[in-house]
């Protein structure tokens, strides 16, 4: 009897056991149930919470939060913006600590362009979610965020070194905008000397970032690449710094402090250079795009007197303008509990609509070439029109190829260059010693 009951129960569950009675009274509710089952009410996916680290304080944090809030409203998901340290090195340390521990505390990280090689092993390949969206960005930026064929970081906003110049002073002395470093040195010397004779005792020809820190790596990489002297470590891992063109570039730069630049430039970071230029005390300045906005403030002594062009090139075969790539990407942690939603947030924040909004409200430089002809963006940021070609030819630091050893590589490089700039060593000897040091840092492999 128990066996028969069990068989009947099994048949009922499979839809194969019926009562012998099959009256019309019994059919109606069955049909109604079938009808109801055939058109179920679609259920919305359960909202999830995504945590993103994308800003510290001020405008950076506020503009990021506006973007993530818009995505949250659109998708129904919740987003928490995790405040990150202000210092770039502290941000990296925080990311290394969390990712190294396999923590899922943060789903989406904002990533400095020199970090993909350092942190890439902890990030998901965004190509599995992007549907080719990366092809809309500047190719050098995408290449910089690609590690072993995997897109570990999607370009979010970009930076590159630029040459700022005083339009009024070049016009006053009937000088053209220089296109080579030799021309810049000659023009800077002529105008600075004339201005000092006219009473502006603080006038200098050229200010840049000469302190022994990452900023000098950026400047010196531009000098060397503009002479055709390579990129310190090439994409295939070859150490290329010890070559005659690199030596010529650093020798030229070492001639600037005390002539067209103040000796104090050897302690200048970005803000020291900007402050001197904005005070009206320099003819030329190398800096990042951010300095444009402050130069155009109503209280600025140089408002409407500034032009921006690509940095000059060196001399000889292979010379070309070069601008070190800067900026930030977005990446998804491989420990995220909601990878698809996190990737969707990244694609939203790096998409055209959000990048356009950020460019208009806060002058963040887009990573999408198409936005550099957008009328609304150019109305707000007219100098963007001259940036597209700069970003197309931006030079990445050798961070992807050197991976976790990049900080050692950069530190060795900037110290070697600074020693030459400070007249402590010759360029030839310093770069030769640097090549040996980099080989030791490399070891068996990068």
- The tens digit of pLDDT for each residue in 394-403 reads 899 999 999 9
240/231 Cα distance (integer angstroms): 7
Residue 285 and residue 192 in one domain: yes
In a domain, 170, yes or no: yes
In a domain, 18, yes or no: no
In a domain, 38, yes or no: no
In a domain, 359, yes or no: yes
Q: Report whether 312 contacts 184 (CB < 8 A).
A: yes
- Higher confidence at residue 1 or residue 53? 53
394/137 Cα distance (integer angstroms): 13
Q: Residue 97 half-sphere exposure, CB side, CA atoms within 13 Å?
A: 8
Residue 143 and residue 168 in one domain: no
> What does the pLDDT average to over 217-236?
98
- What are the tokens at 271? 């803000």
Residue 112 and residue 216 in one domain: no
HEC secondary structure over 272-306:
HHHHHHHCCCEEEEEECCHHHHHHCCCCCCCCCCE
Q: Give residue 4's pLDDT.
A: 38
Residue 297 and residue 423 in one domain: yes
Q: Report whether 112 contacts 144 (CB < 8 A).
A: no
Question: In the predicted model, what is the mean pLDDT of the chain?
Answer: 90
Least confident of 34-43, 88-97, 148-157, 347-356: 34-43
In a domain, 19, yes or no: no
Question: 389-446: per-residue pLDDT in tens?
Answer: 888 878 999 999 999 999 999 999 999 999 999 999 999 999 999 999 999 999 999 9
Residue 219 and residue 315 in one domain: yes
For residue 15, pLDDT beyond 70: no
Q: Give residue 294's pLDDT.
A: 86
Q: Give residue 34's pLDDT.
A: 41
157/366 Cα distance (integer angstroms): 5
Look-up: residue for tokens 């506020």? 62
CA dihedral 314, 317, 321, 322 (to 10 degrees): -90
**What share of the chain in percent tops pLDDT 90?**
80
Residue 200 and residue 281 in one domain: yes
Cα 159 to chain center, whole Å? 6
> What does the pLDDT average to over 86-112?
93
63/83 Cα distance (integer angstroms): 13
> What does the pLDDT average to over 8-29?
38
Range of the structural domain that residue 92 is part of: 49-152+326-388
Given pLDDT bands bounded at 50, 70 and 90, which one contains residue 57? low
In a domain, 12, yes or no: no
Q: Report whether 159 contacts 327 (CB < 8 A).
A: yes
Residue 284 and residue 410 in one domain: yes
Residue 245 and residue 175 in one domain: yes
Q: Is 165 exposed, middle or buried (0-12, 13-18, 19+ CB in 10 A)?
A: buried
Residue 190 and residue 304 in one domain: yes
Q: How many folded domains does the chain comprise?
A: 2
Given pLDDT bands bounded at 50, 70 and 90, which one contains residue 55? confident
Angle between helices 58-75 and 352-362 (to 10 degrees): 150
For residue 8, pLDDT beyond 70: no
Task: Report the predicted TM-score, pTM, of the whole model to 2 decimal places.
Answer: 0.81
Q: Is 392 exposed, middle or buried (0-12, 13-18, 19+ CB in 10 A)?
A: middle
Look-up: residue for tokens 């190398």? 286
- Higher confidence at residue 26 or residue 377? 377
Pairing of strands 154-160, 150-151: unpaired
Residue 402 and residue 260 in one domain: yes
Choose one of 350, 367, 388: the last residue of a domain. Answer: 388
Q: Report whether 158 contacts 367 (CB < 8 A).
A: yes
54/56 Cα distance (integer angstroms): 7
In a domain, 189, yes or no: yes
Residue 361 and residue 409 in one domain: no
């Amino acid at each position: 009897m128990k066996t028969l009951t069990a068989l009947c129960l099994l048949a009922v569950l499979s839809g194969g056991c019926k009562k012998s009675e099959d009256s019309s009274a019994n059919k109606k509710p069955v049909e109604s149930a079938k009808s109801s089952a055939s058109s179920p009410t679609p259920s919305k996916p359960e909202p999830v919470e995504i945590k993103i680290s994308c800003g510290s304080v001020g405008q950076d944090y506020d503009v990021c939060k506006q973007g993530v809030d818009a995505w949250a409203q659109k998708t129904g998901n919740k987003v928490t913006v995790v405040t990150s340290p202000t210092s770039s090195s502290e941000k990296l340390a925080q990311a290394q600590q969390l990712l190294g521990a396999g923590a899922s505390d943060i789903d989406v990280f904002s990533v400095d362009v020199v970090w993909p090689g350092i942190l890439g092993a902890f990030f998901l390949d965004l190509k599995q979610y992007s549907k080719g969206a990366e092809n809309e960005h500047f190719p050098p930026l995408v290449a910089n965020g690609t590690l072993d064929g995997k897109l570990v970081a999607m370009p979010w906003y970009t930076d590159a070194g630029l040459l700022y110049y005083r339009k009024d002073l070049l016009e006053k002395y009937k000088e053209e905008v220089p296109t080579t470093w030799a021309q810049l040195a000659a023009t800077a010397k002529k105008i600075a000397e004339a201005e000092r004779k006219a009473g502006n005792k603080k006038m200098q020809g050229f200010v840049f970032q000469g302190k022994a820190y990452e900023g000098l790596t950026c400047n010196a990489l531009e000098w060397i690449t503009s002479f055709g002297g390579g990129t310190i470590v090439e994409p295939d891992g070859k150490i290329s710094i010890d070559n005659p063109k690199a030596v010529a570039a650093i020798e030229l730069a070492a001639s600037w402090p005390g002539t067209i630049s103040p000796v104090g430039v050897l302690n200048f970071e970005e803000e020291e250079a900007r402050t001197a230029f904005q005070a009206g005390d320099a003819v030329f300045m190398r800096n990042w795009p951010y300095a444009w906005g402050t130069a155009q403030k109503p209280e600025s002594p140089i408002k409407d007197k500034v032009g921006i062009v690509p940095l000059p090139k060196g001399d000889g075969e292979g010379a070309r303008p070069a601008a070190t790539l800067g900026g930030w990407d977005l990446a998804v942690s491989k420990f995220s509990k909601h990878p698809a939603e996190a990737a969707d947030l990244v694609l939203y924040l790096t998409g055209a609509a959000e990048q356009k909004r950020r460019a208009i409200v806060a002058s963040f430089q887009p990573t999408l070439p198409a936005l550099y002809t957008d009328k609304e963006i150019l109305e707000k940021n007219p100098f963007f029109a001259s940036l597209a070609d700069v970003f197309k030819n931006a030079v990445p630091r050798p961070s992807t190829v050197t991976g976790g050893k990049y900080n050692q590589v950069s530190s060795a490089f900037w110290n070697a260059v600074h020693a030459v700039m400070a007249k402590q060593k010759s360029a030839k000897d310093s770069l030769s010693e640097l090549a040996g040091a980099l080989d030791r840092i490399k070891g068996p492999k990068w």
